[in-house]
Chain A
Amino acid sequence: QQQVKQSPQSLIVQKGGISIINCAYENTAFDYFPWYQQFPGKGPALLIAIRPDVSEKKEGRFTISFNKSAKQFSLHIMDSQPGDSATYFCAPRRTALIFGKGTTLSVSS
């Protein structure tokens, strides 16, 4: 898990604001870069993912930005909503997902 460093550890955003979570990795063998979302008492669920040959991917309010040379990728949540309050994990994959430590997002209304 030291292969993946996620920041910040926690984040508080006003409703309608932008949430940004960053992930830095070490292993250049990773071939798939997803973000997972986890609600209390539930297992993680895929939110959005990107391939290393693409620099950005957008799905609705969620965007991944990928910087291969810097070995970093980030999650942007536009127009953040209270329902987005959850823990977010970057989890790059070689043969299995390697999870970061997570970012707890709280969106205040």
Chain B
Amino acid sequence: AQTVTQSQPEMSVQEAETVTLSCTYDTSENNYYLFWYKQPPSRQMILVIRQEAYKQQNATENRFSVNFQKAAKSFSLKISDSQLGDTAMYFCAFMKWPPIWGAGTKLIIKP
């Protein structure tokens, strides 16, 4: 069975620090898509970044970047220069039919 595992239920860092959230997955497929979503206290689900498995280059969106290790089936999210507004639940998702979601990591940015 395909699974997505986020091993860190909760993390906290000081503002301006860099933090890395881990995500591992299990699949026998070769082509697939992976996503990180953010859910702030407002509950709105917001797409942070996506990675296509056939692309070797790691995706980057401003302060957010991923470390995609296809052979290791690892898809970690790095947040640089963290801000108070980054405080949220972060979910990793493996897009297939139907999608598979990790349990989430609660990230707290402290002033």
| Chain B binds chain A | no
